[in-house]
Amino acid sequence: MNLYPLKFNPILKERLWGGTKLKELFGKPSTSEITGESWELSTVSGDVSVVSNGDFAGTSLQELIDTYPTELLGKSVVERFGTDFPILIKFIDAKQDLSIQLHPNDALAKERHNSFGKTEMWYIMDADPGAELIVGFNKDVSKQEYENSLENDTLLDLLNYEKVREGDTFFINTGKIHAIGAGVLLAEIQQTSDVTYRVFDFNRKDKEGNLRELHTELAFDAIDYEKKDDFKVSYPKERNAVNAMVDCPYFKTNFLDLDKDIVFDIKHRDTFTIFMCVAGTATIGNAFGKVTIQKGETTLLPANSDQIEIRTKGTKLLEVTI
């Protein structure tokens, strides 16, 4: 099947903490002042991406997977996940601090929610001066100490804060308490899951005047209470090369900083390939077509692509595979 590089209509999400950067910087078709997320590639129920380019325009990603599973996903991916698309791709604009939260592992998520767990990574695309993330605890914490901090409203004293700037990358494994801070714009790559345990929300109220739901009890058994410095990703930034960033059981991500055209063979890959453009512009093609993406856009290349050609005068890309 002649599956060309696919683009999809963004699925925009209003969030209490969202802003306007997705529209202002990326041109997303938002009319809201609180757009927090642009879901670029999704098969989450109720939020399935729809193709925006070429002969398959108007077709959902799930329809394509059901019709061309091996050609689109790759044999090894189908053997592992069936026709479930295993990755969820987003851009996130935090005008305000996100809630402090964590995600359950695969076993807990399956048992409680019939879902995958949620391992994720963040690439910082833009950050206001002084912007930061919360990632993990600042010391080993006992379950009792954590519970006491919730009761005494002192949880923030136990958390680790990380100042961030463009290009910083973080790997957030399941169980790690975390939050995106105000003024951060990032690309997120994660398992296909929308399961989040919110444990503190700064006592904010939604537009109806209600406090948002917390998941205190569910979180107790899902949290990793140890202090671990395993979240900041150190990666090479060699120009016009494929630089490895993250290699975990759920996804592999590389960083490409290109100022000239590049062609590479992927016959051996047996997986789909995603490109997220985090700077500049690039035209990306296989034997069956090509597509141009700019900063804040994403494309999906099918597994039956033998070769990828990228034409650019300057771009930075995140390349994601399984």
Q: Known binder of ligand: residue 178?
A: yes
Q: Known binder of ligand: residue 215?
A: no
Helix (H, G, I), strand (E, B) or coil at 65: helix
Amino acid at 154: T
Cβ pair 163, 124 in contact under 8 A: no
DSSP symbols for 292-309: EEETT-EEEE-TT-SEEE
Cβ pair 308, 286 in contact under 8 A: yes
Cβ pair 179, 231 in contact under 8 A: no
Q: What is the CA radius of gyration of the chain?
A: 20
Length of the chain: 322
Q: Known binder of ligand: residue 113?
A: no
- Please identify which of the residues 80, 198, 212, 269 carries the catalytic annotation: 198
* 22 vs 24: CA distance, rounded Å: 6
Residue 221: how many other CB atoms lie within 10 Å: 11
Interior angle at CA 132, CA 130 and CA 138, nearest 5: 125
Cβ pair 166, 127 in contact under 8 A: yes
* 207 vs 189: CA distance, rounded Å: 28
In terms of C-beta distances under 8 Å and separation of at least 24 residues, what long-range contacts does 31-38 make, across chains too? 34/95, 35/93, 36/92, 36/93, 36/94, 36/95, 37/12, 37/13, 37/90, 37/91, 37/92, 37/93, 38/10, 38/11, 38/12, 38/13, 38/90, 38/91, 38/92, 38/296
Catalytic residue at 198? Answer: yes
Which residues are documented as binding site?
Answer: 103, 120, 178
Instruction: Pick out the residues of the known binding site for Zn(2+).
Output: 103, 120, 178
Active centre residues (catalytic): 198
